[in-house]
Amino acid sequence: MALPYTFATQPTGNVPASYLDSNFAAVQIQGTQAIVATGVANTYVATPADALSPSYAAYRNRGFYVSFPANNTGPSTINFSGLGAANIYKISGGSATTSLAANDIIANAPYLLVCNGTDFVITVSSSSVLPQNRLDNVSGAVYQLDVAATTDNAFFADRWLMLTQTASVTPSVLSAPETGYASGIRVTQTQVAAQRFGFQQTVESVNCLDLRSQTVSFSPRVRISNSQAIRYAILAWTGTADTMGASRDTVLDWTSSSYTAGGFFIASNLTVVAVGSSTPSANTWTTLPAISGTCPAGMNNLLVFVWTEGTAAQNVTLDFDYMACNAGGTPYFYEPRPYQQELDICSRYHPVVPWNTATNAGGIYLGQAFSATQALVQIPLDVPSRIPITGVTVTGTSNMNLTNSSGGFITPSSIVFNFSRIKSVALVVIVGAGLTAGNATSLGVANTGTNQKFVFTGAEL
Amino acid sequence: MTGWKYFNTPFSEPNTVVFRVLGDGAIESCLATRHDVQEWIAQGNTPEPADE
């Protein structure tokens, strides 16, 4: 029906009242009502000015703009005009009757609900407008570093820095630690003497400057073996962006119960945005209550830190399988990123070349001998590093080989960093003898090799 | 774990790269300007000279 229906074409004479009815009916059909719903989480009530009648069936494919009084925590219903509770569905996975998940509805945000004749469908998923998680590798799925005992101020999983009070602890990987979670990390307090420990991540400046003067929230999902208090914090680095250096160890005094800069935390260039404490039940996965605060205007890096508030006895384990940190006062738990995407992101900070003949990992890298005992070999990086890397740790050198000009293999005695750009690294490979200066060579892994890798350093945060 | 030792090549300035052998046999090398190397030097240590 084209509007206006009658007035433009009948400027004179009486207009039948039925034409007005038709016009109003057309407006009602084509328009939508704006509704501020009431009720409580998951059970909402809508009282539109133009009450729905006599049943939902009369409103099939009709839309309503609705805001809700509270976030939902699971499947939800809405009762329009007292017609009865109707389900609120979303379109997902090829189904238009998918029940809502927690936080699909955000309090006071506008949504378009369309009636399907029986229930309602949110046609715009709330997930498309939610703030993104600022953290990487939130479940520890990317574990390229694969270290054993980890000392204070050392990385153990990609993007995660271990901080310990006195001595090393031992991280390990958890596979499918609970329903709905594909991976996690366990940290075992292996020292006889009890100590505090925790893990920290620093968000790169370019990925958090928009949060200056903004509210940020954080919630870790953890499991501890013995039900002791877990502390967690949002911190802001106000020193030079991405250059924390030794200050990366943000703990000044593990024994302090004053969780302030200059108390528990280092005093310089660090702002404590928020601190929380919670004591989960023993061996129970627990999403710790959200903490939030306003980032300082001078923030250059955002950090999160989770640690044992008191000392942990030997063999206490602290696990995590999700970390939620985003803009706004509510942290959201998202589906994890695809592994390859997460790996690429982590490789910006932790370029690692694993070599394993069993899995065909690694590559063959070309170089040139510049003496009888040394060759310069170029290692291209799959993902450009954040900044040119400044070092490398090489394991399994004895399982690598360097070709000589007659097609033979020479086992390196050492491999040392020389220089780099963000897309490649030049290493010097040293052998006892057998190279010819000026000849080409290549570095590969011997058939027996299973545990070689280059861990490049200097781009981490 | 050994102490830091300089490693010189024709492609970089002398005494800009150091290396050491870790307890598990891995070889760690980096620019001598890295903060942990500088802290180690500040504690009174000196990298071994590079091989001639």
Residue A418 at interface with chain B, using a CB cutoff of 8 Å = yes
Q: What angle do CA A288, A91, A139 make, to 5 degrees?
A: 30
Residue in B12, B36, B39 closest to A419 by CB = B12
Contact A415, A456 (CB under 8 A): no
Contact A401, A410 (CB under 8 A): yes
Helix (H, G, I), strand (E, B) or coil at A29: helix
Contact A304, A233 (CB under 8 A): yes
Buried b (16+ CB within 10 A) or exposed e, A150-162: bebbbbbbbbbbb
Least CA distance to A374: which residue of chain B?
Answer: B9
CA distances from A407 to A363, A402, A440 (A): 18, 10, 11
Beta-carbon contacts of residue A257 (< 8 Å; ≥ 6 apart)? A263, A264
No. of helices (H) and no. of strands (E), chain B: 1, 3
The CB-side HSE value for A238 (13 A sphere, CA atoms) comes to: 15
| Residues of chain B contacting A, Cβ within 8 Å | 7, 9-12, 17, 19, 22, 24-31, 33-36, 39
* Prediction ipTM score: 0.95
Least CA distance to B11: which residue of chain A?
Answer: A418
Contact A286, A278 (CB under 8 A): yes
Contact A424, A381 (CB under 8 A): yes
CA A366, CA A368: separation in Å to the nearest integer? 7
Least CA distance to A388: which residue of chain B?
Answer: B31
**pLDDT in tens for each of the 461 residues of chain A?**
444 455 555 546 677 777 777 777 666 655 678 899 999 999 999 998 888 989 999 999 888 999 999 988 889 999 999 999 999 998 876 788 888 887 888 888 889 999 999 999 987 554 456 789 999 999 999 998 888 888 899 999 999 999 999 999 999 999 999 988 999 999 999 999 999 999 999 999 999 999 999 999 999 999 999 999 999 999 999 999 999 988 899 999 999 999 999 999 999 999 999 999 999 999 999 999 999 999 999 999 999 999 999 999 999 999 999 999 999 988 888 888 999 999 999 999 999 988 776 666 778 899 999 999 999 999 999 999 999 999 999 988 888 889 998 889 999 999 999 999 999 999 999 999 999 999 999 998 876 666 788 999 999 99
Residue in A245, A395, A458 closest to B26 by CB = A395
Buried b (16+ CB within 10 A) or exposed e, A318-339: bbbbbbbbbbeebbbbeebbee
Residue A448: per-residue pLDDT: 65
In chain A, which residues have their Cβ closer than 8 Å to the Cβ of B11? 376, 418-419, 426
Residue A368 at interface with chain B, using a CB cutoff of 8 Å = no
In chain B, which residues have their Cβ closer than 8 Å to the Cβ of A415? 27, 29
Residue in B22, B30, B39 closest to A417 by CB = B30
Instruction: Flag if A418 and B17 touch (Cβ within 8 Å).
Output: yes
Least CA distance to B39: which residue of chain A?
Answer: A246
CA A212, CA A236: separation in Å to the nearest integer? 9
In chain A, which residues have their Cβ closer than 8 Å to the Cβ of B19? 414, 416-417
